[in-house]
Amino acid sequence: MPSETERCFPALRLSAWIMDSLSPNFSSARAWCVPCLVSLDTLQELCRKEKLTCKSIGITKRNLNNYEVEYLCDYKVVKDMEYYLVKWKGWPDSTNTWEPLQNLKCPLLLQQFSNDKHNYLSQVKKGKAITLKENHRALKPAVAEYIVKKAKQRIALQRWQDELNRRKTHKGMIFVENTVDLEGPPSDFYYINEYKPAPGISLVNEATFGCSCRDCFFEKCCPAEAGVLLAYNKNQQIKIPPGTPIYECNSRCQCGPDCPNRIVQKGTQYSLCIFRTSNGCGWGVKTLVKIKRMSFVMEYVGEVITSEEAERRGQLYDNKGITYLFDLDYESDEFTVDAARYGNVSHFVNHSCDPNLQVFNVFIDNLDTRLPRIALFSTRTINAGEELTFDYQMKGSGDVSSDSIDHSPAKKRARTVCKCGAVTCRGYLN
Ligand SMILES: [Zn+2]
Ligand SMILES: [Zn+2]
Ligand SMILES: [Zn+2]
Ligand SMILES: [Zn+2]
- Residue 50's pLDDT band (cuts 50, 70, 90): confident
Distance 359 CA to ligand 1 centre (A): 24
Within a domain: 424: no
- Is 191 assigned a catalytic role? no
Q: Does residue 422 lie in a domain region?
A: no
pLDDT at 35 over 80: no
Last residue of a domain, one of 29, 47, 66: 66
* Ligand 1 centre distance from Cα of residue 193 (Å): 25
**Mean pLDDT, rounded, for 204-216:** 90
Q: Is the pLDDT of residue 396 over 60?
A: no
Same domain, 305 and 380: yes
129 lies in the same domain as 175: no
Ligand at shortest distance from the CA of 250: 2
- pLDDT tens figures, 249-308: 999 999 999 999 999 999 999 999 999 999 999 999 999 999 999 999 999 999 999 999
Shared-domain flag, residues 184 and 233: yes
- 204 CA → ligand 3 middle, Å: 20
Nearest listed ligand to the Cα of residue 252: 2
Query: Which is more confident, 412 or 100?
Result: 100
Residue 329 Ramachandran class (φ > 0 left, ψ -120 to 50 alpha, else beta): alpha
Distance separating alpha carbons of residues 132 and 126, to the nearest angstrom: 11
Residues 57 and 108 in one domain: no
Ligand that lies nearest to the alpha carbon of residue 259, given by its number in the listed order: 3
CA of 328 to the centre of ligand 2 (A): 24
Q: Do 369 and 225 belong together in one domain?
A: yes
CA distances from 195 to 202, 297, 342, 359, 410 (A): 11, 17, 9, 16, 21
The answer to whether residues 74 and 58 belong to one domain is: no
**Rounded Cα distance, 421 and 400, in Å:** 19
d(CA 225, CA 345): 32
Would you say residue 302 lies in a domain? Answer: yes
How many domains are there within the chain? 3
Across 61-87, average pLDDT: 87
Q: Does residue 430 sit within a domain?
A: no
The one catalytic residue in 300, 317, 324, 330 is: 300
User: Do residues 134 and 271 share a domain?
Assistant: no
d(CA 305, CA 327): 10
What CATH number corresponds to the domain at position 90?
2.40.50.40
| Residue 300 a catalytic site member | yes
Q: Residue 11 domain-assigned?
A: yes
Q: Which of 186, 138, 139, 185 is nearest to 158 (CA)?
A: 185
Q: Kindly give the distance from the C-alpha atom of residue 255 to the centroid of ligand 3, in angstroms, as a whole number.
A: 5
365 and 397 inside one domain: yes
- Binding residues for Zn(2+), as ranges, are 211, 213, 216, 221-222, 249, 253, 255, 259, 353, 418, 420, 425
**Residue 109 within any structural domain of the chain:** yes
Average pLDDT over residues 10-30: 41
Residue 325 lies in a domain: yes
List 247, 270, 342, 392, catalytic entry: 392
The residue from 66, 91, 118 where one domain ends is: 66
Domain check: are 190 and 152 in the same one?
no
Q: CA quadruple 49, 52, 58, 60: dihedral positive or negative? A: positive
- pLDDT at site 398: 42
User: What protein residues have CB closer than 5 angstroms to ion ligand 1?
Assistant: 211, 213, 216, 221
Q: Give me the domain span that covers residue 235.
A: 169-412
Ligand closest to 255 (CA) is: 3
Q: Quick one: 362 and 390 in the same domain?
A: yes
Residue type, 392: Y
Whether 24 shows a pLDDT value over 50: the answer reads no
**Spacing, Cα 254 to ligand 2 middle (Å):** 7
* Final residue before a domain boundary, out of 159, 180, 208: 159
Residue 423 lies in a domain: no
Tell me the average pLDDT across 20-32.
Answer: 43
Which protein residues have their CB within 5 A of the ion that is ligand 4?
353, 418, 420, 425
Query: Rounded to whole angstroms, how far apart are CA atoms 153 and 182?
Result: 7
Tell me, in angstroms, the distance from the centre of ligand 1 to residue 254's CA.
7
State pLDDT tens for residues 282-293.
999 999 999 999
* Binding site per annotation, positions: 211, 213, 216, 221-222, 249, 253, 255, 259, 353, 418, 420, 425
**Per-range mean pLDDT, top range of 13-17, 126-130, 247-251, 327-331:** 247-251
Q: Are residues 252 and 388 in the same domain?
A: yes
Domain CATH code at residue 321? 2.170.270.10
Q: Are residues 9 and 29 in the same domain?
A: yes
